[in-house]
Structure 1
């Protein structure tokens, strides 16, 4: 199947990106080229648990560190005002409750690149009123996008 799109009166620039995805446990690193992002931990998690009616949706704060060529470049606290995005029902049970921090987070200042950002952050698991989350249970899904400079 072929899709054709015609745009009149406007010249579009074609920007290309390398994208990298990873699911990290606390202490894990996402490596891409000579750069890496390390998931240090969850600073706070006040997201409204499933099974509770809250006035405020809450937020989750995670700490990540940035490295280039093995050298520490800095750290950043990522704060998400989070909403339960979806629930997947598989064989009668709920799996993969996801929340997302939303928009792109620029991180090019930590590296020697022009355009690099965290495109998506998902913190798992989502809180449940009947279960306490231990630090070892947290996982951080990251999607990082880096603009490719064309010669």
Structure 2
């Protein structure tokens, strides 16, 4: 490399850079094309269901079957342990029953995320946002009163 002090421009006399430029260009184009083809598309759905209700999307169904256990600490009591709720959901593709999943929600956790990819070929995450109503000592919650809010994110490979 030579420096011309008259106009302070760098001039390269080594021809290695002439070979590197095309190679770097081809490599950059390949990596860009690969990254574009490998990108995934994610679709997000929000749902609120009651016990026994189903949420349908893209020929898939998640049914809020029942609350198995609700030992969350009532909001009007101070507890040593926060407790938890266990819910049962059923998974379908079209009319075909694929299986059941028991989800444990902690009382002090705002949301719980799990993958349902074992039931489907594509990636499918479900995030349980809330289970309401929250227990109080002054009332007993009937099974029909429970509502489950969740978000489903389906990742589709292009």
Which runs of structure 1 show a deviation greater than 6 angstroms over 4 or more consecutive aligned residues? Answer: none
Q: Which runs of 5+ in 2 are unaligned?
A: 1-31
Structure with the largest fraction of helix: 2
After TM superposition, the structure 1 = structure 2 runs for residues 69-108 of structure 1, keeping only pairs within 5 Å, are 69-83=94-108, 100-102=110-112, 104-108=113-117
Q: Does 1:110 align with 2:142?
A: no
Measure, in 2, the Cα distance between the counterparts of 1:15 and 1:31. 22
CA contact 1:100–1:123 (8 Å) conserved in 2: no
Q: Which runs of 5+ in 1 are unaligned?
A: 1-10, 84-98
After TM superposition, the structure 1 = structure 2 runs for residues 129-148 of structure 1, keeping only pairs within 5 Å, are 129-148=137-156
What is the TM-score of this pair, normalised by structure 2? 0.72
Say how many residue pairs are matched.
123
What is the TM-score of this pair, normalised by structure 1? 0.75
Measure, in 2, the Cα distance between the counterparts of 1:81 and 1:51. 17
CA RMSD of aligned residues (A): 1.9
Aligned to 2:66: 41
Q: Which has the larger radius of gyration?
A: 2
Aligned to 1:125: 133
Shift of 1:14: 5.4
Shift of 1:36: 0.5
Measure, in 1, the Cα distance between the counterparts of 2:122 and 2:58. 15
Could you list the per-position Cα deviations for residues 117-143 of structure 1 after superposition, in whole angstroms to 9, with x for gaps in the alignment?
A: 102331011111211101010011111
Aligned to 1:93: none
CA contact 2:122–2:156 (8 Å) conserved in 1: no
Aligned to 2:85: 60
